[in-house]
């Protein structure tokens, strides 16, 4: 193509390029406009995004964000301090409102299903509000117990913060609430939700649907209940507080006295509540169940009804053990003091080493045979029975076993055991000899294969041909083995008791 032709076509090519560039420019403008629109949507949706993040937080501390009334804060939920814990009781608070909290500080004592444990908070901040005071019972996991803030100046803002407000933040909105943004609900009084809250006039009672349902089931007049929700709204907590205060019982006579028209029925209605005090003076007291008592009842019921128990009894002469115990304690010069129970634990550990089939546990699909004798020692506490575990008893001496047992039992009675100190184990010993019990049949502690019941030591007369009188007095102890027939057959249980008896009647073998 000649230079003249190229020059002639140049205007046409430039025109075509301009036409192609125009749609591209328009598309770029559209993209920018879309980006601006998307950015606006993100900003307006920020509160709802934060709510989703709040629910995604771990159950120990739910992150909350500043609202119209309160600055940034955390709601601390009831922690799960043991694998079997579903609810807990609040013990002594170790921090007061306004105190600074460092990671690892003990915030409060929590009574679990097995022991009283310290709840160590792992974040930094200030305690702004205690929502569950000392003595609060049966709080489910994640139930609000406290408010934590990052700035000490924000503590005063939560002086009037209520448990109902915490629950409303920690849970999704109630079905009756409109899904409108908070700012719109406050600025637009034309919305139904805003009208409901701003016009509490006349005899109308404002309550949540759940509160209305609970009131109907319990026969409560909502007009008698004082609401703690926004603008006096009645919520679930108000109904529960009303029932707990006994106001329903007081309202019954008033309701009976109100209709005066049927005069003949009024005296009968008034006499009905008078029968209630008779029950309290009838000679009994209803004692609320602790978490530990509930777990004991559940576990032992399952054990007795599902584990095939069998029982073996053995009588053991304890003269040699008692002589050795006396000799060792005299030689200790007060450094240690061995008990008869220490010898029993060591003898059981040695017998478990000899008969490992008993040192096993039922796991449903298989039987687990343990390599060490981790013996759970039943201890009575004011709250109930607990079994702290003395680990690797087969590898420890009498002195170490004695020291550990004393420490574990003392802390068990003070509700200071850690979960790993009372969960697990491979064998259980229950000793009621100190109460004068001759023998008893203990219930197996699942998943253990057996439990050894130890009775008291009694003086008995036995035949003795070498004695001039033909008999002699010996110290005799009776023990009974409760074993799981799924894990160990009767002959295996008998072998264990034979080995156990041999170690106690020849106690020097325990020192080998």
Active site residues per annotation = 485, 489
* Cis check: omega of the bond before 447, within 30 degrees of 0: yes
Cα distances (Å, whole numbers) of residue 128 to 32, 68, 497: 46, 17, 59
- Token representation of residue 130: 């205690």
| Contact call for residues 307 and 445 (beta carbons, < 8 A) | no
270 touches 255 (CB < 8 A): no
- Helices within 355-431 (DSSP H only): 398-413
Distance CA 200, CA 218 (A): 25
**Residue ranges in 220-339 assigned as alpha helix (H):** 236-244, 247-257, 266-271, 276-280, 291-306, 319-332
- DSSP string for 416-446: ---GGGTS--SEEEEE-GGGT-----PPP-T
Helix (H) or strand (E) run with residue 309 in it: strand 309-317
Q: What is the DSSP letter of 447?
A: T
Q: Helices in 179-246 by DSSP H: which ranges? A: 182-187, 192-198, 209-218, 236-244
What is each CA distance from 46 to 57, 58, 171, 249, 322, in whole angstroms? 17, 21, 18, 48, 76
R_g of the chain, CA atoms, integer Å? 36
Determine which helix (DSSP H) or strand (DSSP E) holds 483, and give its type and residue range.
strand 471-484
* β-bridge mates for residue 475, sequence order: 459
């Amino acid at each position: 193509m000649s230079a003249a032709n190229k020059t002639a076509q140049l205007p046409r090519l430039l025109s075509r390029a301009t036409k192609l560039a125009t749609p591209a420019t328009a598309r770029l403008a559209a993209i920018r406009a879309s980006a601006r629109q998307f950015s606006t949507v993100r900003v307006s949706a920020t509160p709802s995004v934060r709510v989703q993040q709040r629910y995604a937080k771990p159950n120990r501390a739910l992150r909350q964000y500043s609202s119209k009334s309160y600055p940034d804060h955390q709601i601390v939920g009831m922690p799960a301090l043991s694998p079997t814990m579903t609810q807990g009781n609040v013990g002594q608070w170790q921090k007061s409102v306004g105190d600074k909290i460092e990671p690892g500080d003990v915030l409060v004592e929590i009574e679990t299903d097995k022991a009283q444990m310290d709840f160590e908070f792992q974040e930094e901040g200030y305690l702004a509000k205690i929502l569950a005071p000392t003595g609060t019972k049966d709080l489910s996991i994640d139930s609000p117990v406290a408010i934590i803030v990052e700035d000490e100046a924000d503590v005063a803002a939560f002086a009037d913060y209520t448990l109902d407000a915490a629950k409303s933040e920690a849970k999704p909105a109630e079905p009756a609430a409109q899904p409108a943004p908070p700012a719109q609900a406050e600025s637009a009084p034309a919305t139904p939700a805003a009208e409901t809250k701003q016009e509490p006039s006349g005899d109308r009672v404002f309550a949540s649907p759940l509160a209305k349902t609970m009131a109907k089931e319990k026969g409560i007049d909502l007009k008698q209940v004082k609401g703690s929700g926004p603008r006096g709204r009645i919520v679930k907590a108000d109904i529960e507080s009303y029932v707990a205060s006994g106001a329903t019982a007081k309202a019954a006579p008033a309701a009976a006295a109100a209709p005066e028209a049927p005069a003949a029925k009024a005296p009968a209605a008034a006499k009905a509540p008078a029968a209630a005090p008779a029950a309290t003076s009838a000679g009994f007291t209803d004692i609320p169940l602790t978490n530990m008592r509930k777990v004991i009842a559940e576990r032992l019921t399952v054990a007795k009804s599902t584990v095939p128990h069998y029982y073996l009894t053995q009588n053991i002469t304890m003269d040699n053990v008692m002589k050795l115990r006396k000799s060792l304690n005299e030689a200790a010069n007060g450094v240690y003091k061995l008990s008869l129970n220490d010898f029993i634990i060591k003898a059981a550990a040695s017998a478990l080493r000899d008969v490992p089939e008993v040192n096993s546990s039922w796991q449903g699909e298989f039987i687990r045979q343990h390599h060490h004798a981790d013996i759970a020692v039943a201890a009575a506490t004011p709250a109930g029975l607990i079994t702290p575990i003395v680990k690797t008893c087969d590898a420890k001496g009498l002195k170490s076993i004695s020291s550990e047992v004393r420490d574990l039992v003392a802390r068990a009675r003070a509700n200071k055991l850690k979960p790993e100190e009372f969960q697990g184990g491979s064998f259980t010993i229950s000793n009621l000899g100190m109460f004068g019990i001759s023998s008893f049949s203990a219930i197996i502690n699942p998943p253990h294969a057996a439990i050894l019941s130890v009775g008291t030591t009694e003086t008995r007369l036995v035949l003795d041909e070498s004695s001039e009188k033909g008999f002699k007095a010996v110290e005799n102890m009776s023990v009974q083995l409760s074993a799981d027939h799924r894990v160990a057959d009767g002959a295996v249980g008998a072998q264990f008791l034979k080995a156990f008896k041999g170690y106690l009647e020849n106690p020097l073998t325990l020192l080998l």
